[in-house]
Chains A and B, each alone.
Chain A
Amino acid sequence: MEAVRLLLAYACLKGLRLHQMDAKSAFLNGFIDEEVYVSQPPGFEDHNPDYVFKLKKALYGLKQAPQQWYERLNNFLLSQGYERGKTDKTLFIKNSYNDIILVQVYVDDIIFGSTNESLCEQFVATTQGEFEMSMMGELNFFLGLQLKQVEHDIFLCQAKYCRELLKKFNVENCKKAFTPIATGCYLDADETGVDMDQTKFRQLIGSLLYLTASRPDIMFSVCLCPRFQAKPKESHYVAAKRILKYLKGTTEVGLWYPS
């Protein structure tokens, strides 16, 4: 996630236009080096019911599938003259003269941007020749983040997710709060407090944690709650509810990356 945000911030700084694409049924592209057999799937039975099928290419659900897909994509990009990032192995870079193209891969989602638009077009053309791709275009939705490119500035938020979250936990009619946590708030194990449902508390925390990808403002208050998830009490629940109340008034808030 940080790598993605770093790329976004860098793109703003350099005025790169980012695009995205999506590999169709990515894992089916992988080749396998081992011998793998599968039992006959229903609907595709052979006339000899004792036989098993030998796989020529990877399938979803196979342990090797993600690695084989990465291997395939990696080899393809390397053969096209791309260089792999030294720290982040899912970043591919190609320099040509004074222009650079950056390609960030997240399993089957690919974001890319270049100082020269013709490099992008070239990238699209070559990858489309090799793999089946879909959802080409401007970067607007990536890993659950909603992105808006306004000229060279980028705004990222999770407003849609946030609204669904508020609906799920029935806080649509609550009052709004201005901060996610009260100033004098002190949480401890609260052993005498009333027990609350652990599963529900965990669900709430899990959902909130995902939201912190674009909402650093709730980071502190969200990270306080999981410390008590083994024995959630009413006071902890109240603190978590306060975050939801705060979110209610700030659904559209996100990160702004100016150029």
Chain B
Amino acid sequence: MDRKRTSGTCHLLGSSLISWHNKKQACVTLSRAEAKYIVARSCCAQTIWLKHQLSDFGLNLSKIPLLCDNTSAINLTKNPVQHSRTKHIEICHHFISDHIMNGDCKIQFVDSENQLADLFTKPLNKERFNFLKNELGIIDFKNVN
């Protein structure tokens, strides 16, 4: 066991699941908030790409909601204070707070019950697995309509 956490993100346009990703993080993190902060950053980068692509389609978005289930991580993006528990977090991870200040996206809290990205980060039981599948629009063609 190497104590590295798994990042998982997913992106939806309307209720269509467009992109998702799961990756074992490259560095060991000290707290859950820090791990979530790293995920939020990679999620933000992907969102920015999608935003640019959509602006080519003629759809301009701003303040795209980015849902995160950890309040500490959210507070970290709002107020990048340098106190003893967070000052080791690398500068590149502060990328996200910059984009929030520019108004590209905004970060919102979601309770872990409705955290859709759980599908990409942990093994789940049948009920939870099917619930998330349904929420993300991963369904059997027979059940369509």
Contact = CB atoms under 8 A, between A and B. Distances in A.
A and B associate? yes
B124 interface: yes
Q: Indicate the size class of the contact surface on chain A.
A: 35 or more
Contacts of B124: 179, 183
A253 B139 CA distance: 5
A9 B18 CA distance: 7
A220 B8 contact: yes
Question: Which of the listed residues A9, A183, A250 has the most CB atoms from chain B within 10 Å of its own CB?
Answer: A9
A258 B15 CA distance: 7
Interface string B133-144: 100111111101
Given A2-B19, A9-B14, A10-B13, A216 B126 contact: no
Interface string B15-58: 11111101110000000000000000000000001101111111
A256 B137 contact: yes
Nearest to A182: B123
A217 B119 contact: yes
A155 B141 contact: yes
Contacts of A102: 57
Contacts of A95: 58
Interface in B86-143: 119-126, 129, 133, 136-142
Given A10-B59, A86-B52, A252-B141, A219 B18 contact: no
A157 B10 CA distance: 18
B16 A9 contact: yes
A230 interface: no
A5 interface: yes
Contact of B138 (A3, A179, A216): A216
Contacts of A9: 13-14, 16, 18
Contacts of B139: 253-254, 256
A85 B18 contact: no
Contact of A219 (B13, B22, B56, B144): B22
A159 B122 CA distance: 25
Interface residues of B, number: 44
Contact of B141 (A6, A85, A148, A258): A148
A13 interface: yes
Interface string A90-111: 0101010000101000000000
Given A10-B54, A10-B57, A13-B13, A87 B140 contact: no
Which 8 A-B residue pairs are closest in the complex by CB-CB distance?
A: A9-B16, A257-B16, A87-B52, A85-B56, A256-B137, A181-B123, A2-B19, A9-B13
26 contacts: A9-B14, A10-B59, A12-B16, A93-B56, A93-B58, A95-B58, A100-B57, A100-B58, A102-B57, A157-B141, A178-B129, A179-B123, A182-B123, A183-B124, A185-B123, A216-B17, A216-B20, A216-B119, A220-B8, A220-B119, A220-B120, A252-B142, A255-B16, A255-B17, A256-B138, A258-B15
Interface of B: 1, 6, 8, 10, 13-20, 22-24, 49-50, 52-59, 119-126, 129, 133, 136-142, 144-145
Given A183-B123, A221-B123, 13 more contacts: A8-B16, A9-B13, A9-B18, A85-B53, A150-B144, A150-B145, A157-B141, A179-B126, A181-B123, A217-B138, A223-B23, A254-B141, A256-B16
Interface of A: 2-3, 5-10, 12-13, 85-88, 91, 93, 95, 100, 102, 148, 150, 153, 155, 157, 159, 178-179, 181-185, 188, 215-217, 219-221, 223, 227, 250, 252-258
